[in-house]
Copies of this chain bind each other. A is one copy, B any other.
Amino acid sequence: MDARQFEEFGKAAIDFISNYTENLRERDVLPSVEPGYLSKLMPNEAPRQAESWQDVLKDVERLILPGMTHWNSPQFHAYYPAGNSYPGIVGEMLSAGFGCIGFSWMSSPACTELEIITMNWLGKMLGLPKEFLNCSDGPGGGVIQGSASEATLVGLLAAKEKTTRRIKSLHPDLDEGIIKAKLVAYTSDQANSSVERAGLLGSVPMRLLPTDDKCRLRGYTLLEAMKKDEEAGLIPCYVVANLGTTGTCAFDVLDELGPICNENNLWLHVDAAYAGSAFVCPEYRYLMSGINYVDSFNFNPHKWLLVNFDCSAMWVKNAGYLIDAFNVDRIYLAHDKQGQALDYRHWQIPLGRRFRALKLWFVLRLYGIEGLQNHIRRMVKLAHQFENFVNSDDRFEIVTEVSLGLVCFRMKGDNSLTRELLDRLMKRKRIYTIAANYKDQLIVRFVVCSRMCEEKDIEFAWNEISSQATEILIVSRNQTARMFENGELPYENLNGKMEERQR
Protein backbone atom coordinates (compact mmCIF):
# COMPACT_ATOMS: atom_id res chain seq x y z
CA MET A 1 0.00 0.00 0.00
CA ASP A 2 1.57 3.25 -1.07
CA ALA A 3 1.09 6.68 0.48
CA ARG A 4 -1.70 7.70 -1.93
CA GLN A 5 -3.69 4.56 -1.19
CA PHE A 6 -3.14 5.09 2.52
CA GLU A 7 -4.52 8.60 2.27
CA GLU A 8 -7.65 7.30 0.56
CA PHE A 9 -8.03 4.37 2.93
CA GLY A 10 -7.28 6.44 6.02
CA LYS A 11 -9.76 9.15 5.08
CA ALA A 12 -12.41 6.59 4.27
CA ALA A 13 -11.77 5.10 7.71
CA ILE A 14 -12.18 8.54 9.30
CA ASP A 15 -15.58 8.87 7.63
CA PHE A 16 -16.40 5.34 8.69
CA ILE A 17 -15.63 6.11 12.34
CA SER A 18 -17.56 9.36 12.24
CA ASN A 19 -20.52 7.70 10.60
CA TYR A 20 -20.40 4.76 13.01
CA THR A 21 -20.23 7.01 16.05
CA GLU A 22 -22.91 9.48 15.06
CA ASN A 23 -25.37 6.73 14.16
CA LEU A 24 -24.85 4.46 17.14
CA ARG A 25 -28.42 4.97 18.31
CA GLU A 26 -29.69 3.11 15.25
CA ARG A 27 -27.94 -0.11 16.21
CA ASP A 28 -28.86 -2.51 19.00
CA VAL A 29 -26.24 -2.04 21.69
CA LEU A 30 -25.77 -5.82 21.91
CA PRO A 31 -25.10 -8.07 18.93
CA SER A 32 -27.32 -10.93 17.77
CA VAL A 33 -24.63 -13.51 17.11
CA GLU A 34 -23.82 -16.88 18.59
CA PRO A 35 -20.34 -18.10 19.55
CA GLY A 36 -18.46 -19.12 16.43
CA TYR A 37 -20.45 -16.86 14.08
CA LEU A 38 -17.42 -15.29 12.48
CA SER A 39 -15.47 -18.40 11.58
CA LYS A 40 -18.46 -19.49 9.49
CA LEU A 41 -18.18 -16.31 7.44
CA MET A 42 -14.43 -16.23 6.90
CA PRO A 43 -11.88 -18.25 4.98
CA ASN A 44 -9.73 -20.70 6.94
CA GLU A 45 -6.51 -19.18 5.80
CA ALA A 46 -5.01 -15.79 5.13
CA PRO A 47 -5.11 -14.77 1.46
CA ARG A 48 -2.01 -15.50 -0.60
CA GLN A 49 -2.27 -12.24 -2.55
CA ALA A 50 -2.96 -8.77 -1.25
CA GLU A 51 -6.62 -7.73 -1.32
CA SER A 52 -8.05 -4.25 -1.81
CA TRP A 53 -8.71 -1.91 1.10
CA GLN A 54 -12.22 -1.30 -0.21
CA ASP A 55 -13.04 -4.99 0.28
CA VAL A 56 -11.56 -5.00 3.76
CA LEU A 57 -13.51 -1.93 4.83
CA LYS A 58 -16.70 -3.44 3.43
CA ASP A 59 -16.01 -6.53 5.53
CA VAL A 60 -15.69 -4.44 8.65
CA GLU A 61 -19.27 -3.30 8.05
CA ARG A 62 -20.50 -6.71 6.92
CA LEU A 63 -18.69 -9.08 9.31
CA ILE A 64 -17.38 -7.14 12.28
CA LEU A 65 -20.07 -4.60 13.16
CA PRO A 66 -22.83 -7.20 13.52
CA GLY A 67 -20.69 -8.92 16.16
CA MET A 68 -19.85 -5.85 18.20
CA THR A 69 -21.02 -4.82 21.62
CA HIS A 70 -21.17 -1.06 21.17
CA TRP A 71 -19.37 0.37 24.19
CA ASN A 72 -19.90 3.94 23.05
CA SER A 73 -23.57 3.62 22.32
CA PRO A 74 -25.78 5.93 24.41
CA GLN A 75 -27.62 2.73 25.31
CA PHE A 76 -24.58 1.12 26.90
CA HIS A 77 -25.03 1.20 30.68
CA ALA A 78 -22.95 -1.82 31.70
CA TYR A 79 -19.60 -2.10 33.54
CA TYR A 80 -18.09 1.39 33.56
CA PRO A 81 -17.50 3.61 30.52
CA ALA A 82 -14.77 2.87 27.99
CA GLY A 83 -13.34 6.32 27.39
CA ASN A 84 -13.62 7.54 23.85
CA SER A 85 -13.55 10.85 22.08
CA TYR A 86 -12.59 12.23 18.71
CA PRO A 87 -9.41 13.94 19.98
CA GLY A 88 -8.31 10.68 21.66
CA ILE A 89 -8.84 8.71 18.46
CA VAL A 90 -6.65 11.09 16.46
CA GLY A 91 -4.00 10.93 19.18
CA GLU A 92 -3.98 7.16 18.90
CA MET A 93 -3.67 7.42 15.11
CA LEU A 94 -0.61 9.62 15.33
CA SER A 95 0.94 7.35 17.92
CA ALA A 96 0.47 4.43 15.51
CA GLY A 97 1.82 6.55 12.66
CA PHE A 98 5.05 7.40 14.51
CA GLY A 99 5.38 3.87 15.81
CA CYS A 100 8.10 4.69 18.32
CA ILE A 101 8.82 2.42 21.28
CA GLY A 102 9.58 4.59 24.28
CA PHE A 103 11.24 2.19 26.71
CA SER A 104 14.06 4.62 27.48
CA TRP A 105 14.45 8.38 27.18
CA MET A 106 16.82 7.95 24.23
CA SER A 107 14.54 5.58 22.38
CA SER A 108 12.17 8.52 22.00
CA PRO A 109 12.69 11.61 24.14
CA ALA A 110 9.38 13.24 23.19
CA CYS A 111 7.48 10.10 24.20
CA THR A 112 8.94 10.15 27.71
CA GLU A 113 8.84 13.91 28.19
CA LEU A 114 5.28 14.42 27.01
CA GLU A 115 4.22 11.68 29.40
CA ILE A 116 5.93 13.42 32.32
CA ILE A 117 4.31 16.73 31.41
CA THR A 118 0.78 15.47 30.80
CA MET A 119 0.90 13.39 33.98
CA ASN A 120 1.89 16.53 35.88
CA TRP A 121 -0.99 18.42 34.25
CA LEU A 122 -3.40 15.64 35.10
CA GLY A 123 -2.15 15.26 38.68
CA LYS A 124 -2.68 18.98 39.22
CA MET A 125 -6.15 18.80 37.68
CA LEU A 126 -7.07 16.13 40.23
CA GLY A 127 -5.60 18.06 43.14
CA LEU A 128 -3.17 15.27 44.03
CA PRO A 129 -0.60 16.06 46.74
CA LYS A 130 2.55 17.58 45.26
CA GLU A 131 4.73 14.62 46.30
CA PHE A 132 3.10 12.57 43.55
CA LEU A 133 4.19 14.93 40.79
CA ASN A 134 7.38 14.66 38.82
CA CYS A 135 7.61 18.48 38.74
CA SER A 136 7.99 18.66 42.51
CA ASP A 137 11.27 17.99 44.28
CA GLY A 138 11.59 14.45 45.43
CA PRO A 139 11.26 10.97 44.04
CA GLY A 140 7.57 10.98 43.05
CA GLY A 141 6.07 10.90 39.60
CA GLY A 142 3.38 9.73 37.23
CA VAL A 143 3.36 7.06 34.54
CA ILE A 144 0.82 5.81 32.03
CA GLN A 145 0.14 2.10 32.49
CA GLY A 146 -1.96 -0.07 30.21
CA SER A 147 -4.63 -0.87 32.77
CA ALA A 148 -5.57 -0.63 36.43
CA SER A 149 -4.75 -4.34 36.64
CA GLU A 150 -1.15 -3.59 35.78
CA ALA A 151 -0.98 -0.63 38.17
CA THR A 152 -2.25 -2.79 41.04
CA LEU A 153 0.31 -5.46 40.18
CA VAL A 154 3.13 -2.92 39.86
CA GLY A 155 2.22 -1.57 43.31
CA LEU A 156 2.15 -5.07 44.74
CA LEU A 157 5.52 -6.02 43.29
CA ALA A 158 7.11 -2.81 44.57
CA ALA A 159 5.57 -3.40 48.02
CA LYS A 160 6.81 -6.97 47.98
CA GLU A 161 10.38 -5.95 47.18
CA LYS A 162 10.36 -3.08 49.66
CA THR A 163 9.02 -5.23 52.48
CA THR A 164 11.41 -8.07 51.73
CA ARG A 165 14.36 -5.69 51.88
CA ARG A 166 13.11 -4.21 55.15
CA ILE A 167 12.64 -7.57 56.81
CA LYS A 168 15.96 -8.78 55.43
CA SER A 169 17.75 -5.76 56.94
CA LEU A 170 16.14 -6.52 60.31
CA HIS A 171 16.87 -10.26 60.08
CA PRO A 172 19.82 -10.73 57.72
CA ASP A 173 19.86 -14.50 58.24
CA LEU A 174 16.29 -15.01 56.97
CA ASP A 175 16.01 -16.49 53.46
CA GLU A 176 14.41 -14.13 50.89
CA GLY A 177 12.20 -16.86 49.50
CA ILE A 178 10.89 -17.60 52.98
CA ILE A 179 10.18 -13.92 53.65
CA LYS A 180 8.28 -13.65 50.37
CA ALA A 181 6.26 -16.75 51.18
CA LYS A 182 5.03 -15.04 54.38
CA LEU A 183 3.81 -11.81 52.78
CA VAL A 184 0.12 -11.02 52.75
CA ALA A 185 -2.00 -8.27 51.17
CA TYR A 186 -5.46 -6.84 51.81
CA THR A 187 -8.34 -5.30 49.97
CA SER A 188 -12.11 -5.25 50.35
CA ASP A 189 -14.54 -7.92 49.24
CA GLN A 190 -15.85 -5.27 46.82
CA ALA A 191 -12.55 -4.86 44.97
CA ASN A 192 -12.39 -5.46 41.24
CA SER A 193 -11.40 -8.97 40.19
CA SER A 194 -8.09 -7.54 38.95
CA VAL A 195 -7.04 -6.83 42.54
CA GLU A 196 -7.48 -10.44 43.61
CA ARG A 197 -5.70 -11.36 40.40
CA ALA A 198 -2.73 -9.16 41.23
CA GLY A 199 -2.31 -11.25 44.38
CA LEU A 200 -2.54 -14.43 42.36
CA LEU A 201 -0.01 -13.22 39.76
CA GLY A 202 2.36 -11.81 42.36
CA SER A 203 2.10 -14.88 44.61
CA VAL A 204 0.91 -12.87 47.60
CA PRO A 205 -2.38 -13.97 49.20
CA MET A 206 -4.89 -11.12 48.76
CA ARG A 207 -7.39 -11.12 51.63
CA LEU A 208 -10.84 -9.89 50.63
CA LEU A 209 -11.94 -8.19 53.85
CA PRO A 210 -15.58 -7.62 54.72
CA THR A 211 -17.04 -4.14 54.26
CA ASP A 212 -19.49 -2.08 56.26
CA ASP A 213 -23.13 -1.54 55.29
CA LYS A 214 -22.04 1.08 52.78
CA CYS A 215 -19.65 -1.41 51.13
CA ARG A 216 -16.60 0.44 52.52
CA LEU A 217 -13.47 -1.10 53.96
CA ARG A 218 -12.88 0.30 57.44
CA GLY A 219 -9.76 0.69 59.55
CA TYR A 220 -10.82 -1.66 62.33
CA THR A 221 -11.41 -4.45 59.82
CA LEU A 222 -7.92 -4.05 58.42
CA LEU A 223 -6.36 -3.91 61.90
CA GLU A 224 -8.11 -7.07 62.96
CA ALA A 225 -7.02 -8.96 59.84
CA MET A 226 -3.42 -7.79 60.21
CA LYS A 227 -3.34 -8.84 63.84
CA LYS A 228 -4.59 -12.30 63.01
CA ASP A 229 -2.01 -12.71 60.24
CA GLU A 230 0.84 -11.43 62.36
CA GLU A 231 -0.10 -13.86 65.10
CA ALA A 232 0.14 -16.63 62.50
CA GLY A 233 3.69 -15.48 61.64
CA LEU A 234 2.75 -13.74 58.39
CA ILE A 235 3.94 -10.33 57.19
CA PRO A 236 1.34 -7.76 56.05
CA CYS A 237 2.79 -5.73 53.18
CA TYR A 238 0.20 -4.23 50.81
CA VAL A 239 -3.27 -2.72 50.96
CA VAL A 240 -5.42 -1.84 47.96
CA ALA A 241 -8.04 0.73 48.89
CA ASN A 242 -10.87 1.17 46.42
CA LEU A 243 -12.24 4.58 45.59
CA GLY A 244 -15.35 3.75 43.60
CA THR A 245 -15.82 -0.01 43.72
CA THR A 246 -17.01 -1.92 40.66
CA GLY A 247 -20.20 -3.20 42.25
CA THR A 248 -21.70 -0.10 43.87
CA CYS A 249 -19.09 2.68 43.49
CA ALA A 250 -18.33 2.67 47.21
CA PHE A 251 -15.35 4.49 48.73
CA ASP A 252 -13.09 2.79 51.26
CA VAL A 253 -12.29 5.00 54.24
CA LEU A 254 -8.79 6.22 53.39
CA ASP A 255 -8.67 8.44 56.47
CA GLU A 256 -8.82 5.31 58.61
CA LEU A 257 -6.75 2.97 56.45
CA GLY A 258 -3.97 5.49 55.76
CA PRO A 259 -2.56 5.97 59.25
CA ILE A 260 -2.66 2.22 59.91
CA CYS A 261 -0.69 1.52 56.74
CA ASN A 262 1.85 4.28 57.39
CA GLU A 263 2.45 3.19 60.98
CA ASN A 264 2.85 -0.45 60.05
CA ASN A 265 4.97 -0.08 56.91
CA LEU A 266 2.25 -1.32 54.56
CA TRP A 267 2.26 0.04 51.02
CA LEU A 268 -1.11 1.72 50.45
CA HIS A 269 -2.30 1.67 46.84
CA VAL A 270 -5.50 3.34 45.68
CA ASP A 271 -7.55 1.87 42.85
CA ALA A 272 -9.80 4.70 41.70
CA ALA A 273 -10.16 3.26 38.21
CA TYR A 274 -13.57 4.78 37.48
CA ALA A 275 -14.14 7.43 40.14
CA GLY A 276 -10.74 9.10 39.84
CA SER A 277 -11.90 11.09 36.81
CA ALA A 278 -14.49 12.85 38.99
CA PHE A 279 -11.71 14.49 41.00
CA VAL A 280 -11.17 16.96 38.15
CA CYS A 281 -14.23 18.59 39.75
CA PRO A 282 -13.29 20.08 43.13
CA GLU A 283 -16.70 19.22 44.58
CA TYR A 284 -15.87 15.48 44.43
CA ARG A 285 -12.41 15.62 45.97
CA TYR A 286 -13.78 14.99 49.47
CA LEU A 287 -14.13 11.42 48.23
CA MET A 288 -10.35 11.04 48.26
CA SER A 289 -9.80 12.48 51.71
CA GLY A 290 -6.77 10.68 53.15
CA ILE A 291 -4.88 10.68 49.85
CA ASN A 292 -1.86 12.13 51.70
CA TYR A 293 -1.27 8.72 53.35
CA VAL A 294 -1.14 6.90 50.03
CA ASP A 295 1.96 5.40 48.35
CA SER A 296 0.49 4.91 44.90
CA PHE A 297 -2.67 6.15 43.23
CA ASN A 298 -4.23 4.98 40.00
CA PHE A 299 -7.23 5.89 37.89
CA ASN A 300 -8.23 5.27 34.31
CA PRO A 301 -8.63 8.26 32.00
CA HIS A 302 -9.62 5.50 29.57
CA LYS A 303 -12.74 4.96 31.62
CA TRP A 304 -14.39 8.27 32.35
CA LEU A 305 -12.05 10.96 31.06
CA LEU A 306 -12.59 10.50 27.33
CA VAL A 307 -9.16 9.06 26.53
CA ASN A 308 -9.54 5.88 24.56
CA PHE A 309 -8.25 2.61 26.00
CA ASP A 310 -5.46 2.14 27.04
CA CYS A 311 -4.42 4.97 29.31
CA SER A 312 -4.25 4.17 33.01
CA ALA A 313 -2.72 6.98 35.07
CA MET A 314 -0.58 5.95 38.04
CA TRP A 315 1.38 8.12 40.46
CA VAL A 316 3.81 7.00 43.11
CA LYS A 317 5.33 8.95 45.96
CA ASN A 318 8.70 7.27 45.55
CA ALA A 319 9.52 5.83 42.15
CA GLY A 320 12.75 4.43 43.58
CA TYR A 321 10.78 1.45 44.86
CA LEU A 322 9.53 0.60 41.37
CA ILE A 323 13.01 0.85 39.94
CA ASP A 324 14.34 -1.40 42.71
CA ALA A 325 11.74 -4.00 41.83
CA PHE A 326 11.99 -3.86 38.03
CA ASN A 327 15.45 -2.78 36.96
CA VAL A 328 17.23 -5.30 34.74
CA ASP A 329 19.68 -3.48 32.50
CA ARG A 330 21.58 -4.54 29.42
CA ILE A 331 24.26 -2.95 27.29
CA TYR A 332 21.89 -2.52 24.35
CA LEU A 333 19.56 -0.44 26.54
CA ALA A 334 22.30 1.90 27.72
CA HIS A 335 22.43 5.53 26.52
CA ASP A 336 24.57 8.48 27.40
CA LYS A 337 21.80 10.51 29.06
CA GLN A 338 21.18 7.83 31.69
CA GLY A 339 20.93 9.34 35.13
CA GLN A 340 19.82 12.71 33.73
CA ALA A 341 16.68 11.32 32.17
CA LEU A 342 13.86 9.08 33.21
CA ASP A 343 13.59 5.60 31.67
CA TYR A 344 9.96 4.51 32.03
CA ARG A 345 10.76 0.86 31.36
CA HIS A 346 11.63 0.57 35.06
CA TRP A 347 8.12 1.69 36.03
CA GLN A 348 6.07 -1.00 34.35
CA ILE A 349 5.64 -4.70 33.55
CA PRO A 350 6.48 -4.77 29.81
CA LEU A 351 9.67 -3.44 28.24
CA GLY A 352 8.05 -1.80 25.18
CA ARG A 353 5.64 1.11 25.39
CA ARG A 354 3.51 3.09 22.93
CA PHE A 355 3.35 6.87 22.71
CA ARG A 356 0.19 6.98 24.81
CA ALA A 357 0.79 10.48 26.13
CA LEU A 358 -0.22 11.88 22.72
CA LYS A 359 -3.86 10.97 23.11
CA LEU A 360 -3.95 12.20 26.70
CA TRP A 361 -2.40 15.49 25.55
CA PHE A 362 -4.94 15.83 22.73
CA VAL A 363 -7.87 15.22 25.08
CA LEU A 364 -6.59 17.67 27.71
CA ARG A 365 -6.01 20.41 25.14
CA LEU A 366 -9.05 19.90 22.97
CA TYR A 367 -11.49 19.67 25.87
CA GLY A 368 -9.65 21.88 28.34
CA ILE A 369 -10.09 21.49 32.09
CA GLU A 370 -13.54 23.06 31.96
CA GLY A 371 -14.68 20.84 29.13
CA LEU A 372 -13.74 17.74 31.12
CA GLN A 373 -15.40 19.08 34.27
CA ASN A 374 -18.57 19.73 32.29
CA HIS A 375 -18.47 16.21 30.92
CA ILE A 376 -18.28 14.68 34.42
CA ARG A 377 -20.99 16.94 35.81
CA ARG A 378 -23.30 16.20 32.91
CA MET A 379 -22.91 12.44 33.37
CA VAL A 380 -23.63 12.66 37.10
CA LYS A 381 -26.71 14.77 36.38
CA LEU A 382 -28.01 12.15 33.98
CA ALA A 383 -27.53 9.49 36.68
CA HIS A 384 -29.76 11.53 38.97
CA GLN A 385 -32.31 11.90 36.21
CA PHE A 386 -32.42 8.11 36.07
CA GLU A 387 -32.60 7.91 39.87
CA ASN A 388 -35.68 10.11 39.77
CA PHE A 389 -37.36 7.73 37.34
CA VAL A 390 -36.65 4.81 39.67
CA ASN A 391 -37.89 6.68 42.70
CA SER A 392 -41.06 7.70 40.94
CA ASP A 393 -42.06 4.08 40.37
CA ASP A 394 -43.33 1.98 43.28
CA ARG A 395 -42.27 -1.29 41.72
CA PHE A 396 -38.58 -0.38 42.01
CA GLU A 397 -36.16 0.60 44.72
CA ILE A 398 -32.77 2.29 44.78
CA VAL A 399 -30.47 -0.07 46.67
CA THR A 400 -27.32 1.89 47.49
CA GLU A 401 -26.97 5.64 47.40
CA VAL A 402 -26.42 6.87 43.85
CA SER A 403 -22.70 7.40 43.44
CA LEU A 404 -21.32 9.51 40.57
CA GLY A 405 -22.66 7.99 37.34
CA LEU A 406 -23.85 4.71 38.84
CA VAL A 407 -27.39 3.88 39.93
CA CYS A 408 -27.96 0.53 41.68
CA PHE A 409 -31.60 -0.50 41.75
CA ARG A 410 -33.84 -3.53 41.75
CA MET A 411 -37.42 -4.60 41.46
CA LYS A 412 -39.01 -4.84 44.87
CA GLY A 413 -39.70 -8.35 46.06
CA ASP A 414 -38.03 -11.59 45.24
CA ASN A 415 -34.65 -11.59 43.43
CA SER A 416 -36.21 -13.64 40.66
CA LEU A 417 -38.03 -10.54 39.40
CA THR A 418 -34.78 -8.62 38.98
CA ARG A 419 -33.16 -11.70 37.43
CA GLU A 420 -36.02 -11.87 34.93
CA LEU A 421 -35.67 -8.15 34.22
CA LEU A 422 -31.94 -8.50 33.52
CA ASP A 423 -32.54 -11.50 31.29
CA ARG A 424 -35.22 -9.72 29.29
CA LEU A 425 -33.13 -6.60 28.81
CA MET A 426 -30.25 -8.76 27.67
CA LYS A 427 -32.40 -10.69 25.20
CA ARG A 428 -33.99 -7.56 23.76
CA LYS A 429 -30.60 -5.87 23.30
CA ARG A 430 -32.01 -2.32 23.41
CA ILE A 431 -29.97 -1.33 26.44
CA TYR A 432 -27.08 -3.09 28.18
CA THR A 433 -26.94 -3.29 31.97
CA ILE A 434 -25.35 -5.90 34.19
CA ALA A 435 -25.99 -7.52 37.53
CA ALA A 436 -24.28 -7.14 40.86
CA ASN A 437 -24.93 -8.42 44.36
CA TYR A 438 -25.55 -6.28 47.40
CA LYS A 439 -25.80 -8.41 50.52
CA ASP A 440 -28.43 -10.98 49.52
CA GLN A 441 -29.99 -8.77 46.91
CA LEU A 442 -29.53 -9.06 43.18
CA ILE A 443 -29.26 -5.58 41.73
CA VAL A 444 -29.08 -3.92 38.36
CA ARG A 445 -26.11 -1.62 37.82
CA PHE A 446 -27.10 1.27 35.58
CA VAL A 447 -24.13 3.42 34.56
CA VAL A 448 -24.19 6.54 32.43
CA CYS A 449 -21.36 5.57 30.09
CA SER A 450 -21.35 7.13 26.65
CA ARG A 451 -20.24 10.74 26.25
CA MET A 452 -23.11 10.99 23.78
CA CYS A 453 -25.72 9.99 26.33
CA GLU A 454 -28.46 12.60 26.65
CA GLU A 455 -31.71 13.02 28.55
CA LYS A 456 -33.62 11.33 25.75
CA ASP A 457 -31.38 8.25 26.11
CA ILE A 458 -32.05 8.04 29.83
CA GLU A 459 -35.76 8.24 29.03
CA PHE A 460 -35.35 5.55 26.41
CA ALA A 461 -33.59 3.31 28.92
CA TRP A 462 -36.20 3.93 31.58
CA ASN A 463 -39.07 3.20 29.18
CA GLU A 464 -37.40 -0.06 28.24
CA ILE A 465 -36.91 -1.07 31.88
CA SER A 466 -40.30 0.04 33.02
CA SER A 467 -42.18 -1.64 30.16
CA GLN A 468 -40.34 -4.91 30.77
CA ALA A 469 -41.18 -4.71 34.46
CA THR A 470 -44.84 -4.30 33.50
CA GLU A 471 -44.72 -7.42 31.37
CA ILE A 472 -42.92 -9.40 34.04
CA LEU A 473 -45.52 -8.47 36.62
CA ILE A 474 -48.43 -9.27 34.31
CA VAL A 475 -47.02 -12.70 33.50
CA SER A 476 -46.23 -13.28 37.13
CA ARG A 477 -49.71 -12.22 38.29
CA ASN A 478 -51.44 -14.36 35.71
CA GLN A 479 -49.34 -17.38 36.61
CA THR A 480 -49.89 -16.92 40.29
CA ALA A 481 -53.62 -16.59 39.75
CA ARG A 482 -53.66 -19.76 37.65
CA MET A 483 -51.64 -21.63 40.24
CA PHE A 484 -53.94 -20.62 43.03
CA GLU A 485 -56.88 -21.75 40.93
CA ASN A 486 -55.19 -25.12 40.41
CA GLY A 487 -54.16 -25.38 44.06
CA GLU A 488 -50.49 -25.36 43.10
CA LEU A 489 -47.46 -24.08 44.93
CA PRO A 490 -46.85 -20.37 45.14
CA TYR A 491 -44.27 -18.34 43.32
CA GLU A 492 -40.92 -19.70 44.57
CA ASN A 493 -41.11 -22.92 42.60
CA LEU A 494 -42.38 -21.36 39.46
CA ASN A 495 -39.56 -22.30 37.16
CA GLY A 496 -39.50 -25.93 38.24
CA LYS A 497 -43.27 -26.18 37.93
CA MET A 498 -43.32 -24.68 34.49
CA GLU A 499 -40.78 -27.19 33.30
CA GLU A 500 -42.88 -30.02 34.70
CA ARG A 501 -45.93 -28.80 32.83
CA GLN A 502 -44.07 -28.59 29.57
CA ARG A 503 -43.03 -32.23 29.76
Task: Report which A residues bind B (CB closer than 8 A).
Answer: 1-3, 5-7, 9-11, 13-18, 20-22, 31, 33-39, 42, 44-51, 53, 55-56, 60, 63-72, 79, 82-90, 92-94, 96-101, 105-111, 113-114, 116-118, 120-122, 124-125, 135, 146-150, 153, 157, 160, 175, 177-178, 180-182, 192-194, 196-197, 200-203, 246-247, 302, 308-310, 325-326, 328-334, 336-337, 340-341, 349-352, 354, 358, 361-362, 364-371, 426, 434-437, 445
Contact = CB atoms under 8 A, between A and B. Distances in A.
A68 B358 CA distance: 13
B99 A370 contact: no
B202 A203 contact: yes
B354 A69 contact: no
Contact of A99 (B45, B83, B97, B365): B83
B69 A108 contact: yes
Nearest to A115: B38
Contact of A108 (B48, B50, B71, B93): B71
A38 B99 contact: no
A110 B21 contact: no
A391 B135 CA distance: 51
Contact of A354 (B37, B60, B309, B366): B309
A436 B333 CA distance: 10
A1 B175 CA distance: 58
Contacts of A309: 99, 101, 352, 354
A19 to B, nearest CB: 8
Contact of A45 (B60, B124, B246, B336): B124
Given A42-B117, A46-B368, A46-B369, 8 more contacts: A1-B85, A6-B18, A17-B93, A31-B110, A39-B135, A63-B110, A89-B93, A89-B97
Contacts of A63: 110
Given A67-B113, A122-B46, A366-B53, A193 B351 contact: yes
Given A99-B82, A110-B38, A197 B326 contact: yes
A473 to B, nearest CB: 23
Contact of A437 (B21, B331, B354): B331
B177 A93 contact: no
A235 B22 CA distance: 58
B90 A10 contact: yes
A200 B202 CA distance: 10
B97 A9 contact: no
Given A365-B46, A365-B47, A86 B6 contact: yes
Given A114-B38, A366-B56, A197 B82 contact: no
Closest 5 CB pairs of A and B: A67-B110, A17-B97, A177-B181, A10-B14, A6-B86
A50 B332 contact: no
A14 B94 CA distance: 8
Given A71-B100, A93-B13, A246-B332, A310 B193 contact: no
15 contacts: A11-B14, A38-B109, A46-B369, A47-B365, A49-B371, A50-B366, A66-B110, A68-B111, A69-B106, A149-B352, A194-B328, A200-B326, A201-B325, A202-B203, A203-B203
A361 B51 CA distance: 11
B39 A116 contact: yes
Contact of A368 (B37, B47, B83, B247): B47
A199 to B, nearest CB: 9
Given A13-B90, A33-B109, A201-B157, A150 B350 contact: yes
A152 B287 CA distance: 39
A115 to B, nearest CB: 10
B328 A196 contact: yes
A101 to B, nearest CB: 5
Contact of A147 (B10, B34, B114, B351): B351
Interface centre among A71, A100, A110 (most CB of B within 10 A): A110
